[in-house]
Amino acid sequence: MRRVLVLGGTAEARELAELLAGDGRFGVTTSLAGRTPEPRLPAGQVRTGGFGGAEGLAGWLREQRVDVVVDATHPFAEAISRNAALAARTAGVPLLALRRPGWSPGEGDRWHGAESLAAAAALLPGLGHRPFLTVGRGDLAAFAGVPLPCLARSIAPPLPPLPAHCQVLLDRGPFTLEGERDLLREHRIDVLVTKDSGGPATAPKLAAAREAALPVLIVRRPAPPPGLPTVTTASAALHWLRAR
7 and 70 Cβ atoms separated by less than 8 Å: yes
Q: Are residues 116 and 209 in the same domain?
A: yes
148 and 129 Cβ atoms separated by less than 8 Å: yes
Q: Are residues 87 and 167 in the same domain?
A: no
Rounded distance between C-alpha atoms, residue 61 and residue 92, angstroms? 9
pLDDT at 119: 98
Q: What pTM did the predictor assign?
A: 0.91
Q: Are residues 29 and 118 in the same domain?
A: no
Q: Could you give the maximum distance between any two Cα atoms of the chain, in Å?
A: 56
pLDDT at 89: 97
Neighbours of 168 (CB within 10 A): 15
pLDDT at 226: 86
Q: Are residues 29 and 128 in the same domain?
A: no
Mean local confidence (pLDDT), 15-43 = 92
- pLDDT band for 91, please (50, 70, 90 cuts): very high
3-class SS of residue 18: helix
Whether 36 shows a pLDDT value over 80: the answer reads no
My answer on whether omega of the bond before 174 falls inside 30° of 0, hence cis, is yes
Q: Are residues 183 and 135 in the same domain?
A: yes
**pLDDT cut 70: percent of the chain above it:** 100
Number of domains observed in the structure of the chain? 2
CATH value at residue 213: 3.40.50.720
Q: Are residues 180 and 114 in the same domain?
A: yes
Q: Are residues 34 and 97 in the same domain?
A: yes
Range of the domain at 90: 2-101+223-243
| Stretch (H or E) spanning 80 | helix 78-91
Rounded distance between C-alpha atoms, residue 93 and residue 68, angstroms? 6
Q: Are residues 12 and 58 in the same domain?
A: yes
pLDDT at 40: 85
Rounded distance between C-alpha atoms, residue 29 and residue 44, angstroms? 6
3-class SS of residue 113: strand
Q: Are residues 231 and 190 in the same domain?
A: no
- pLDDT band for 38, please (50, 70, 90 cuts): confident
Tell me the per-residue pLDDT of 39-55, one tens digit each, with 9 for 90 and over: 889 999 999 999 999 99
